[in-house]
A = this chain, B = another copy of it.
């Protein structure tokens, strides 16, 4: 049931049943096969989504064609609120990297829900605010930290979010190419490859094609935090 999904969302978890029920009733389920776009940068922001199944990639492409990845996301997560609330265009691509299912609310439905359920609007505000602070931290990181540290932090974030225990180690349970890591951290696939190779020699990680396993979290954390 949709309401169960909403209850697992970080920012909606403790809303009253009645509010969640109203929200759930207004949602439509959308299925998106691997590789398809849930929405595309520049498209009119018609819907707000809660991702229910499958992983997806949030990316942005610069006018010169260089892509950056803003996030690799997995369920349950609220997404598209920023564009949908403004009635603007999506500022990002969201591409399914697995078969996905998402609850969708149309722009007008969303506005109506937020107007009639002030608690919901407050939660949405908290959610966007939380995302803002995270982005601000990444911005500072990019402005002030070396590649090595940014990469270490990206791996730790990913393992927190999508880690799967693997003996004493933890594998990031996402297909994760060197190019992806480069676009997540603002560097190039060459530098990522060289850095991972060095870490693999020192036993901090193991890695393979589109796969990274963290073996020595303390040492990686030390690189990440200084």
Point out residues on A near B: beta carbons under 8 Å: 60, 62-64, 66, 68, 70, 81-83, 85-86, 88, 91-92, 111, 114-116, 118-119, 121-122, 124-126, 128-133, 135-140, 142-145, 186, 225-226
- Taken together as a complex, chains A and B put the C-alpha atoms of A133 and B42 apart, in Å, by 13
The smallest beta-carbon distance between A213 and chain B, in angstroms, is: 26
| B118 with A60: CB separation less than 8 A | no
The smallest beta-carbon distance between A11 and chain B, in angstroms, is: 11
- Taken together as a complex, chains A and B put the C-alpha atoms of A128 and B85 apart, in Å, by 10
Which residues on the B side are within 8 Å of A126 (C-beta)?
85-86
Secondary structure at the A interface, as helix, strand, loop or mixed, is helix
> Oligomeric state, in number of copies?
2
Known A60-B136, A115-B118, A122-B115; judge A86-B130 contact (CB<8 A). Answer: yes
Which residues on the B side are within 8 Å of A131 (C-beta)?
132
10 closest pairs, A vs B, by CB?
Answer: A143-B186, A121-B121, A82-B129, A115-B118, A66-B144, A128-B128, A62-B144, A68-B143, A142-B142, A125-B125
- Taken together as a complex, chains A and B put the C-alpha atoms of A143 and B138 apart, in Å, by 11
Which residues on the B side are within 8 Å of A114 (C-beta)?
118, 121-122, 125
- Taken together as a complex, chains A and B put the C-alpha atoms of A123 and B22 apart, in Å, by 22
Q: List 12 A-B contacts (CB under 8 A).
A: A62-B140, A62-B145, A68-B143, A82-B133, A83-B129, A86-B130, A116-B118, A125-B128, A135-B139, A139-B139, A139-B142, A142-B186
